[in-house]
Structure 1
Amino acid sequence: MKYFKFLIMACFIGMFFSCGGDDDICESGEGTPRMKVSFKSNGKETTLDSLYVAVDYGSGKVQLGGLGKIDSWLIPLRVDNSPYTDIYFRLTNKGEESKVRVTYTTKSYYVSPGCGIKKSYENLSSELVTPNPVQNLEAGQNQIENEDKTNLYLLF
């Protein structure tokens, strides 16, 4: 019976110390970054009362929803081998919609078993396809490696 208790205690201690580390969790910003979009009016950065965003990921538009009192939005881009992503912006839920096409080149590299492959986007350029309510575009940083810097400014 002594040996049985010792065996159970050894198994419990072994399980306690064998718990996995952070290798299977992708929380440190190691995943594919999103594009940061900010807004300008009269040459200055501004806060919008409301904004609704939809993105075409290759199988039709996906509504990302709407937010109020917003100064920037992080938008995930396509992760397939497409050279562009179409993004749609509205100021009201049922209002007019502006279409922006963002083109880029991608690089993929392996991060970890939990995160898998990370894509980075380079040579970003944007084209305003449908101009109302967005009046014009202004380029920001032309590569996406993290989510700190603004990549695109929408001019209203």
Structure 2
Amino acid sequence: MKCFKFIIFILALSSVISCGSDDDICESGEGTPRMKITFKKADKISTIDSVKIYADYGTNVVDLGWKLKVDSVFVPLRVDDSPFTDLYVRTTTQEDSTRVRVNYTTKAIYVSPACGVKKNYENVNSVLSTPNSLKSVEQGQNFIENEDKTNLFFNF
């Protein structure tokens, strides 16, 4: 009987030990990075009172919400095989949105069994159409491997 209890204890202990952090999906920031957009006024990095960004992901347009008193935002790009993501930007509720098309090529990179594959973006550039309060767009770093560097500068 003692041997049976010992075997049950060892099995229970080994099942608890085998449950490790390998099942945690991308907790250490290994997932697909977002694009960093920094705001400028008069060629200086500046805080914007309010900005609202929508992202067109092909099947739907996602409202990323109003950002208040910020100098930069992070925007997720499409993860399908589309070569672009359309962003719509506005600073007030009364103005029409300005469309910015972000063009890129994607590169899939295997990360781990738990996290799977992430996308990196290369040759990132943008085209501004119908400027309103957003006057122009400047290129920053032209690839996205992490969220450290600014990829686009929005000039207001």
Letter in 2 for 1:13: L
* Unaligned stretches of 5+ residues in structure 2: none
In the TM superposition, 1:13-32 aligns within 5 A as: 13-22=13-22, 24-32=24-32
1:94 Cα deviation after fit: 4.7
Secondary structure class of the residue paired with 1:16? helix
1:70 aligns with 70
1:2 aligns with 2
| 2:117 matches 1:124 | no
* Whole-angstrom distance in 2 between the partners of 1:110 and 1:93: 42
Secondary structure class of the residue paired with 2:11? helix
In the TM superposition, 1:72-111 aligns within 5 A as: 72-111=72-111
Q: What's the TM-score once normalised by structure 2's chain length?
A: 0.93
* Whole-angstrom distance in 2 between the partners of 1:22 and 1:110: 15
**Which stretch of the first structure deviates more once superposed, 49-58 or 17-26?**
17-26
Identity %: 56
Q: Residues 18 and 60 from structure 1, CA distance in 2 versus in 1: closer, same or farther, beyond 3 angstroms?
A: closer
Secondary structure class of the residue paired with 1:105? strand
Runs of 4+ residues over 6 Å off in structure 1: none
| 2:146 matches 1:143 | no
- How many pairs does the alignment contain? 156
Letter in 2 for 1:114: A
**Which stretch of the first structure deviates more once superposed, 52-61 or 6-15?**
6-15
Q: Is the Cα contact below 8 Å between 2:95 and 2:132 reproduced in 1?
A: no
In the TM superposition, 1:46-65 aligns within 5 A as: 46-65=46-65
Q: Is the Cα contact below 8 Å between 1:96 and 1:133 reproduced in 2?
A: no
* Unaligned stretches of 5+ residues in structure 1: none
